Amino acid sequence: MPPILDVVIPVLNEAKTLESQIMKLQNFLAEHSNLNFVYQIIIADNGSTDDTLKIAHNLASVSQRIRVVSVGVPGVGLALRTAWATSNSEYIGYMDLDFSTELIHLADVEKIFNEKYDCVFGSRLLPESRVKGRTFKREITSRVFNSVIKSVFNSSVSDAMCGFKFLRREKLRDALRHGAGCDGWFFCAEQIAGHRIYDLPVFWQDAPGSKVRILTLTTRYIADILRFRKRVKLIHKTL
C-alpha cells in the first residue's frame, strides 16, 4: 500500500475561501498522476466564530479523504499538535490555506522523504527560491527573524516560518521531547529540534489580503523563542 500523508490546513474564520481552496487542493491531488502517496486532508479549526467549522464538516461529509479537527480556541500550534497526534499516517505536515507555496512542491516532498530525511521545510529565502508579491517590509522582517532563530538554536534552516512543512509522524514524539509545545505559530518552527531537515526552495506568491500583522506577530515570536529556549535547556538538564 502506498504511504499516507496527512496535509493539515489550519483555519481561523476562513468561511469565505475554505470550500474553494479545499476543492482546489482536492482537484490538484486528483489530476497529478506523478504523486505516489495517498493524501488525506485535515481541516484544523482553531476557534473560528464564523461558519468555517460548519463548512469544514460539510466538506468532510462528502469525502472520505477529509476530516476535521477543532480545538475551540485560537492557537495554530495547538490545532496542528492535535491534528498530528490523532493521525495514523506515515507522514504529516501542513500548508497555509492560501496555498502561497505552490502545490506542485508536494511532489518534491515525496522524493525527499524517499531520501530518508525526517522533515521538509519550505523556504522562501534560498537563492533558488522564487518569491512574488512580497513587500520589502515583510521580506526584511522574515530575514531578520530567521537569522535570530539560526543564531539562538544553532540551526541551518533558512526559513523556519514558511507555511509549508512536513515530517515523519514517528519524529513528532522527538520534537515534543525536545521542547516543542507552543500553542501559537512558533510551534511550526519548533520542529527544528532533533531532526534531519531538508531545506526546500519553493515558488511562493504572497496572498492578497493577508491577515498577518507584522509587529504583533514579531512580538509573539520573540516571546515564544525565549520560552522555547528555556524549555530546551530544562529538558536537556534532565536527560
Domain boundaries, the chain: 4-238
The pLDDT value given to residue 181? 52
- The pLDDT tens digits for 101-133 are 999 999 999 999 999 898 999 999 999 999 998
Beta-strand runs (E) in the chain: 4-11, 38-45, 66-70, 91-95, 119-123, 130-132, 164-168, 197-201, 203-205
The pLDDT value given to residue 234? 44
200 CB-side CA count, 13 A:
30
The pLDDT value given to residue 179? 45
Helix (H, G, I), strand (E, B) or coil at 79: helix
Cα dihedral across residues 48, 54, 83, 198: positive or negative? negative
Spans in the chain with pLDDT lower than 70: 153, 174-194, 208-239
Contacts of 32 (CB under 8 A, 6+ apart): 104, 107
Cell numbers of 53, please? 467549522
| pTM (predicted TM-score) | 0.83
The pLDDT value given to residue 102? 96
User: Count of residues for the chain?
Assistant: 239
Amino acid at 11: V
CATH architecture of 4-238: Alpha-Beta Complex (3.90)
Burial state string for 13-35 with b = 16 or more CB within 10 A and e = fewer than 16? bbbebbeebbeebbebbeeeeeb
On the 0-12 / 13-18 / 19+ scale of CB atoms within 10 A, 140 is exposed
129 and 204 Cβ atoms separated by less than 8 Å: yes
Nearest to 144 by CA among 56, 217, 194, 86: 217
The pLDDT value given to residue 183? 55
Cell numbers of 37, please? 502517496
